Copies of this chain bind each other. A is one copy, B any other.
Amino acid sequence: MVAIQRRDGRSNDAIRPVELQMGFNEWAEGSCLITAGHTRVLVTATVEDRVPPFVRGTGQGWISAEYGMLPRATNDRTFREATRGKQQGRTVEIQRLIGRSLRAAVNLKAMGEKSILLDCDVIQADGGTRTAAITAGFMALTQALLKIHKATPFTGKPLKDWTAAISVGLSMGEVYLDLDYHEDVQIGVDMNVVMTSQHQLIEIQGTAEHGLFSRQQLDLLLDFVEPGIDELVALERQALPEGALLIG
């Protein structure tokens, strides 16, 4: 655990410049390219009129996610998972987190028996790719739901609330919001939080990489998260104002 010098000179509570570019992919029912500092993730949403076997017949919908990184998204090239013949543990863990979080952001009953698959592909990585994927995934999902809604209006509200995700870290007693890769590798405690505009929690994952943390520190970390989520939600509303129609 060391004192962290932010390379871009941000204050501890500042997020990186974020851009949400809707419709980057011309074929998908929904798509969002998120840029957060040097991190860029493209998420596409694919709508299918069937659900997995364990949901079939319940009248509910389903959301799932797949995650990948282009081999040279990182500074040192990583191998292409397709040529190795399997996904790494990290990939699997992340795509389960994304799917779980976005399912929790949705009223699956209101969706009807449809499924939406979110493909999250990291074009360039500089820390925070999983939280960026959740934020962009929420946007691509919303755009896809709007498309369904235009064809056949939903009777209920398929979304619980505007939802976004951000990372936060603790090192030497200092809290840092929205870690880049350089910060992430040095941090003592690393936490990812998925939260709604009303500051309700969807997922919280805190890990002591180096050193333990107290409940008081957990609280402090969450204090930094809330304004970060507020900023992201503001960008979401701007990027896709009609999304509000779907929120109940």
Interface residues of A (CB under 8 A from B): 25-28, 31, 38, 42, 44, 46, 66, 68, 70-75, 77, 80-83, 85-87, 89-93, 95-96, 100, 104, 117, 119, 121, 123-124, 160-161, 196, 199-210, 212-215, 217-219, 222
User: Is B66 within 8 A of A42, CB to CB?
Assistant: no
A92 to B96, CA, bound (A): 10
A214 to B212, CA, bound (A): 23
A144 to B99, CA, bound (A): 38
A2 to B81, CA, bound (A): 40
Other than the given A82-B87, A203-B206, 8 more pairs (CB < 8 A) read A25-B72, A27-B74, A66-B71, A70-B119, A104-B210, A201-B206, A201-B218, A202-B207
Q: Which residues of B contact A104 (CB under 8 A)?
A: 207-210, 212
| Given contact pairs A201-B206, A215-B201, A82 touches B91 in the complex (Cβ within 8 A) | yes
Among A90, A121, A209: residue with most chain B CB under 10 A: A121
A169 to B38, CA, bound (A): 38
User: Is A201 within 8 A of B196, CB to CB?
Assistant: no
| Given contact pairs A214-B200, A214-B201, A82 touches B86 in the complex (Cβ within 8 A) | yes
